């Protein structure tokens, strides 16, 4: 055994995150679809579940070589299978996140935050939504702020991700009184008020699962 050089997220942690996501989206499938049926086209839960089930099959068949390749596979599978807006949006999130991991066998705390930020930036550029449009960004943007803040304060990865998940949950609830200005729900205009946004909900689940799985393990070299 070598020396302990620090703490880092490794490939198997990311794979665990994906496994957790598969479980979480399967479990929340009906709930997400129900939320979507109020203000959308009632397929978000089915779509997410389908995407992550397909991902599970894919990862069982081939395990990609590093974190970047894992995230790339996630992106590809989601884009191909999720359908609706969520496919390209989450696909872009993971694609940009994977790019941020290029050449890194493992990720330090700060690099995890960078990875999330790259993903969220990509997703925002793709969806062109801003805070307050009643979208997944109303979850992801406050989560990024909270994670960034916690990192500045010298928090551990667990603390950073927990802060992100907590901010995400608050952001998700904040979407309830909002009027949708993007996506299918925006067609409803004022009638979208009073409903929790399904995309915001799936985004919260994504961060919650990250907090539960992405732990820094001791890093031996």
Partner 1 sequence: MIGLVIVSHSARLAEGVCELAEQVAQGRVRLAAAGGAADPEHPIGTDAFKVQQAIESVYSEDGVLVLTDLGSAVLSAETALEFLEEDKRGHVKLCSAPLVEGAVAAASQAAAGASMEEILREVEAALAVARPVAAESSQERLVTLTNALGLHARPAAKLIRIARRFQALVTIENVTHAAGPFEATGINGILSLGARQGHRLRIRADGPDARQALAELAVFIEGGCGDQDQPPEQPEQPGKPVPQASGELSGIAASAGVAIGPLVRLRPAEVPRDARVVDDPDAEWRRLLAAIHGAREETRTLYEWARTHAGADEAGIFDAQLLFLEDPKLLDRASRIVLGERANAEFAWHEATGEIAAGYLQARAADVTDVVDRVLRRLTGVAATSANLHGILTAHDLTPSEMAQLGPVLGLCLESGSASAHSVILARAIGIPVVAGLGPAISAVAEGTIVALDGERGTVRISPDAAQVKALEARRKQWLASRRTAEAARHRPASTRDGRPIRVLANISGVAEAAEAVDYGADGVGVLRTEFLFLGRTAAPGEEEQVAAYRAIAQSLGGRPLIIRTLDAGGDKSLPYVEIGEEANPFLGWRGIRVTLGRRDLFRTQIRAVLRTGAGQSVGLLLPMVTVLDELRETKALIQDVEAELDREGAAFLRDIQVGVMIEVPAAVAIAGELAREASFFSIGSNDLIQYCMAADRTNPRVASLADGLQPAVLRMIRQAVEAARAAGIEVTLCGELAADTLATPLLIGLGMDEFSVSAALIPQLKQAIGRWSVAEAEAIAREALAMDSSGAVRKLLGSAAR
CB of 155 to partner 1, least distance (A): 33
- Point out which residues bind partner 1 (CB under 8 A): 43, 46-47, 50, 76, 79-81, 83-89, 91-92, 95, 126-127, 182-184, 189
CB of 186 to partner 1, least distance (A): 9
Taking the least distance from each CB to partner 1, the nearer of 96 and 150 is 96
Taking the least distance from each CB to partner 1, the nearer of 126 and 170 is 126
Instruction: Tell me which DSSP letter residue 10 carries.
Output: -
Q: What is the DSSP string of 41-98?
A: -S-HHHHHHHHHHHHHHHHHH---SSHHHHHHHHHHHHHHHS-TTHHHHHHHHHHHHH
Residue count (the chain): 221
Taking the least distance from each CB to partner 1, the nearer of 179 and 219 is 179
Taking the least distance from each CB to partner 1, the nearer of 92 and 196 is 92
Contact 150, 160 (CB under 8 A): yes
Are β-strands 4-8 and 217-220 bridged in parallel, bridged antiparallel, or unpaired?
A: antiparallel
CB of 96 to partner 1, least distance (A): 9
CB of 52 to partner 1, least distance (A): 13
Taking the least distance from each CB to partner 1, the nearer of 55 and 160 is 55
Q: Which residue has the tokens 């330090």?
A: 108
The maximal CA–CA distance of the chain, rounded, in angstroms, is 62
CB of 69 to partner 1, least distance (A): 15
């Amino acid at each position: 055994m070598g020396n302990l050089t620090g703490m880092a997220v490794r490939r198997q942690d990311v794979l665990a995150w994906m496994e957790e996501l598969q479980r979480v989206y399967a479990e929340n499938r009906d709930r997400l679809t129900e939320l979507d049926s109020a203000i959308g086209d009632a397929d978000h839960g089915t779509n997410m579940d389908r995407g992550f089930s397909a991902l599970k099959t894919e990862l069982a068949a081939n395990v990609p070589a590093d974190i970047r390749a894992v995230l790339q596979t996630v992106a590809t599978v989601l884009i191909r299978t999720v359908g609706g807006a969520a496919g390209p949006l989450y696909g872009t999130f993971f694609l940009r996140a994977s790019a941020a991991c290029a050449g890194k066998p493992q990720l330090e705390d700060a690099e995890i935050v960078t990875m999330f930020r790259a993903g969220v930036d990509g997703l925002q550029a793709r969806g062109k939504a801003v805070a307050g449009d009643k979208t997944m960004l109303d979850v992801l943007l406050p989560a990024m702020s909270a994670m960034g803040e916690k990192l500045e304060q010298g928090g551990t990865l667990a603390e950073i991700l927990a802060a992100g998940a907590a901010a995400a949950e608050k952001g998700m609830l904040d979407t309830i009184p909002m009027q949708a200005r993007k996506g299918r729900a925006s067609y409803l205009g004022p009638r979208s008020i009073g409903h929790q946004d399904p995309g915001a909900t799936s985004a919260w689940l994504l961060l919650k699962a990250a907090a539960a799985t992405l732990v820094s393990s001791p890093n031996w070299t």
